[in-house]
Structure 1
Amino acid sequence: MQFQVNRDEYYPRLINRLRSFVPGFQTIFDEEDGVYLILADFYQYMMSNIDNKHIIHSCVDFINEAMKLGKEKTKDAIVIEIFQPLYSDSDVAKKVQPYLSKIALAVFNSDR
């Protein structure tokens, strides 16, 4: 029996892509601290700027690219650190959802 390896080539670039999309985001964590801590910090940045459409649009553009190009490891990180906290605040989720791509919105809605 052969097993197919499903490599997630986007995951190692996740933080660099985040910085590219949202250059104003500054984290207290180093890359060595891990993607999950940085994404949790990124979620807090998003919430601090929830009423700034320009910043939120940039943040969601990053999420959309990650959902499109990433595989399971990337999607798991986004769901755990960004989507799950959004599930508990429907008012904030309503502000973010219109910017989500079809792929990202499908993941957002399927993991609720």
Structure 2
Amino acid sequence: MIVTTTSTVDGHEVAEYIRIVSGETVVGINMFKDIGAGIRNIVGGRSAGYEGEVINAREAALGEMVQRAIELGAEGVLGVDMSYENLGQGGMMMVCATGTAVRFKN
């Protein structure tokens, strides 16, 4: 499965644009990671706890999007876009991956 942010893939001509596919995931950041991030905010540096949660959420959203494309018989997903949204006041984050499922000419 080819997954790319571009609208074309070198060496592959699109035979069929199937439809838009997306994957979503919602994750919560726990209290201990919040405390660690607060300390990092004061003293500077990166928050490994938050970064790890963002990476896991991104991979989950991409995986869900790809699975939906496979179910449609797609061979690739083009024009992939990632979005990140904070939900509510409690440290919840939604990550969405969206793209166009396609089949390529053989």
Q: What is the TM-score normalised by the length of structure 1? A: 0.29
Structure with higher strand content: 2
Larger Cα-atom Rg: 2
> Hey, which of these two has a bigger chunk of helix by percent?
1
TM-score, normalising length: structure 2: 0.30
Q: State the structure with bigger RCO (CA 8 A, min sep 6), 1 or 2.
A: 2
